[in-house]
Chains A and B, each alone.
Chain A
Amino acid sequence: MSLLDLKGITKSFGAIHALNGVDLSIAPGEAVGLMGDNGAGKSTLMKIIAGNFPPTRGQILIEGEAVLFHKPIDARNSGIEIVYQDLALCDNLTAAANVFLGREERTGIWPFRKLDHAAMTKRAGELFAELKSETRPRDLVRQMSGGQRQAVAIARTRLSDPKLVLMDEPTAAISVRQVAEVLNLIKRLKDTGHAVILVSHRMPDVFDVCDRVAVLRRGTKVADKPITQTTPEEVTGLIIGAIEAA
């Protein structure tokens, strides 16, 4: 059974149809690359899955059950975690504080309930170790490289052991070296049975880590095939419209 099923997702903003009956399904442990030119509807689709706004028509099924997301917290409660393009980290806090932001662990009883710094630091350290990232829980995010910041953002998603991780352009703003590190992080997520949707402009990244690639053009899905049965050339053709569909 597939983990996430999108059926006939349509989204209109007034007269503009951002998405037109898009179907997509993802199995556990599978990584799907979502590609398309600017304005093809990638971010709209992401935002619908993330619960930022509901689709105009269509259904979202998680493990076979229809769900309705009103706000991002609903999606998170259903096991969907999002790594935002700008990473959404607080520079002035430590890595561990960012991992636990909004769901801090506490000990003791009120009014002496306090943040459990030791437990959070330890757990964050374990998460970074699992991701094989040399990020130290006590370091301030301000002092971190792009790759380390990615590790923090990804470690955040693993806190709740989500079923699906959405990643919006995780390799867009970082150096070539750090891209390799991030791709390794994504592979680690797959190895531990998490499904990943990777929205990216970068063809090599998608071909490196994804099992399947879905291409959107003008709000319609024009291709959805295993990565082994396609080539970067074909995908490029699909994105720009040189190839109608595949």
Chain B
Amino acid sequence: MTDTAQQQSPAQKAMDHAAIDDSITSRQEMTGLGAMLRTQPFWVFVAILMLGLVMSFVSDAFMTERNMFNISRNMAFFGIMALGMSAVICTAGIDLSVGSLLGLAGINLALVLQAGWSVEVGFLACVGTAIIVGLINGILIAYLRLAPFVVTLGMLAMARSIAMVISNNKMVYEFGPDQDVFENIGGGSMMGVPNVVWVLTAMTLIFLWIWRYTQWGRWVIAIGGNPQAAKLSGIPVERVIVSVYVVCSLCTGIAAFMFIGYTGSATNAMGATYELNVISATVIGGANLMGGVVYALGAPIGAALVELIRNSLLLAGIPALWQQFFVGLFLILAVLLEQIRNRGGK
């Protein structure tokens, strides 16, 4: 009994120290503005504004309505795919198959339309293809515990090959009775804004809601932070991971639907190397490849920067051969920026 009594008093004193210590460490609460300043999408957005400002002096063609229309439309396809990629990267995964899936879903869509089906059936075929590919990716990764990199790299090759087989290596540009409706959805515009940009806007708002307010979103972020903890908390980790790959593929399917309508033809080479642009957009938009970080706004902002770089090089008269170089360069810079911020702002 005396033992416990003696230990009580130093313990009590130590408690006071602990309390002081903690009150100091917990004094780091951030204001809304402070929180915004710490996010990568904000700084990338600043970079976009600055690049835009510079370009408006360099080229008269930059600040034209036509050019803005083109930039926003071109970035929207990547933005839609990057929204889904953000979810995958948030779980510390990766999906390399999005480019090939764009081609496969596009070919399936085009063939269904060419066979005379309506645009609704075409949409279902396109999205259905995407969901199946997402399910295969997800199940192999979640239940058989294969590395996401390898599974989706394999899918990259397989989906592309299937697209070639199905299309018999031919281009499709006849879209049946609904051709006009279909091409108008993908290539048209409303109120001076391309339809695909409206789709991107709507999907970004949906993802903003998902990440902030849904249990699924919370679980995805938790799995990215600590999969063991998520598992022990009773979260169905495997099912959530499968769903994440399905969501990523679904976004690609929607992008494919809009993209084929815009280009007016489907070839089986469509979407080749798009995975580079989509992953770059996602990472530039603030996603961390180690997982646990996601911003809905990061996807469109990252895609906008990638497209802006492309556009700026073109207008500045730099040969198009340099484009991939700069996309890659900015990807590396984004990861570097992330590193520096993590070191400084702990």
Contact = CB atoms under 8 A, between A and B. Distances in A.
Interface of A: 72-73, 76, 82, 84, 86-93, 97, 101-104, 106, 113-115, 133-136, 138-139, 143-145, 147-148, 176-181, 183-184, 204, 207-208, 227-228, 231-232
B229 A134 contact: no
A88 B7 contact: no
Given A88-B226, A115-B218, A134-B23, A178 B18 contact: yes
Interface majority SS (helix, strand, loop, mixed), chain B: helix
A106 B217 CA distance: 13
B29 interface: yes
A208 B11 contact: yes
A12 to B, nearest CB: 25
B168 interface: no
B225 A92 contact: yes
Q: Which of A82, A101, A144 has the most CB of B within 10 A?
A: A101
Given A134-B23, A135-B26, A136-B26, A90 B225 contact: yes
Contacts of B12: 180
Interface residues of B, number: 41
Nearest to B219: A102
B8 to A, nearest CB: 8
B340 to A, nearest CB: 17
A55 B26 CA distance: 43
16 contacts: A72-B234, A87-B229, A90-B226, A92-B221, A93-B221, A93-B222, A104-B215, A134-B22, A139-B29, A145-B21, A176-B14, A177-B18, A181-B15, A183-B11, A184-B15, A227-B4
B222 A90 contact: yes
A204 B14 CA distance: 14
A59 B239 CA distance: 33
B158 to A, nearest CB: 33
Given A76-B234, A114-B209, A134-B26, 5 more contacts: A93-B218, A97-B218, A139-B29, A144-B25, A148-B22
A101 B222 CA distance: 8
A68 to B, nearest CB: 18
Contact of A228 (B1, B228, B292): B1
A173 to B, nearest CB: 15
A82 B8 CA distance: 26
Contacts of A87: 229
Contacts of A138: 29
